[in-house]
Structure 1
Amino acid sequence: MATYQAWEALGDPSRFAIVTALAERPRAVGELARELPISRPAVSQHLKVLKDAGLVTDRAEGTRRVYRLNPAGVAALRDQLDTFWARALDGYQEIAEEENP
C-alpha cells in the first residue's frame, strides 16, 4: 500500500466521512448511503477508491458486501504520522539546545 495514495484518498470529505463511520463499526453500502448526504452509487465509488488505497476491506454477507477498515492500511498511516511527529520533536530539541547550550 502506498501511503501517498491513502492520504490522497482521505483528502475527499466524503471518503473521510466513510472512514470515520467505518471506524465505529463495519457497514454495508446501503447503510453508509443512509448516513451520508451522497447517493448509494457515489458511496460505492468512494469505497472502491478507499479499497484501492488499502484503507478498507470488504466481505460478502449474503447478498451484500460489508466494509470495514483495513488495520494494516490504518497502521501504515499511523506509522507515517509517528515518523513526522518524531522528526518535528527532534527538530524542536535541536533548536532548543542551540538556544540554550
Structure 2
Amino acid sequence: MPNYSAEVDAVLRALADPTRRAVVERLAKSPAVVSDLLASFSMTLPSLLQHLRILEDARVITSNKQGRVRTVSLRPGALDVLHLWLGEQRTSAERQADRLGIHLARATSKEN
C-alpha cells in the first residue's frame, strides 16, 4: 500500500470547507480570473485569496499571473490521490460483491 497520507490529508483539509469545495466545482468547468471568482462569492478579496492559498498549498489548484490578472485553474489529476485512497478503503466484501455482479452480468448475457 503506497504511503501518500500527507497528500490525502492536505487535500481533505483543503476540501473540508464548503467555500473551497465550491471554488473547486467552479474551476472544474474552466479556469477563472480571481476577480470573476470573487463576484461568485459574498466575501472580501483577502478572504477569497486565503481560500485559494489553501487550495494551492494542497496542490489542488494552480495560479498564473499575467500583469495584474491572476487566473486560477484546477490542477489536472489533483483529486486522483483521493480516488486512489478511497479505492484502497473499500472492504473485501464490496470487492467480492462487485466480482459477483460482474460474474452474474456475464452469465446473464451468455444466456441471451
TM-score (norm 2): 0.72
2:82 corresponds to 1:77 = yes
1:60 to 65, 80, 101: 65
2:42 corresponds to 1:37 = yes
Report runs of 4+ in structure 1 exceeding 2 Å deviation.
Answer: 81-84, 91-94
1:50 to 38, 45, 55: 55
User: How far apart, CA to CA, are the structure 2 residues paired with 1:26 and 1:79?
Assistant: 25
Q: Equivalences for 1:77-96 in 2 at 5 Å?
A: 77-84=82-89, 87-88=90-91, 90-92=92-94, 93=96
Q: Equivalences for 1:15-26 in 2 at 5 Å?
A: 15-26=20-31
Partner of 1:4: 9
User: How far apart, CA to CA, are the structure 1 residues paired with 2:15 and 2:29?
Assistant: 17
- Could you tell me which runs of 5 or more consecutive residues in structure 2 were left unpaired when the two chains were aligned: 1-5, 98-112
SS of 2:48's equivalent?
Answer: helix
TM-score (norm 1): 0.79
SS of 2:70's equivalent?
Answer: strand
User: How far apart, CA to CA, are the structure 2 residues paired with 1:80 and 1:13?
Assistant: 21
RMSD: 2.0
The count of corresponding residues between Structure 1 and Structure 2 is 92
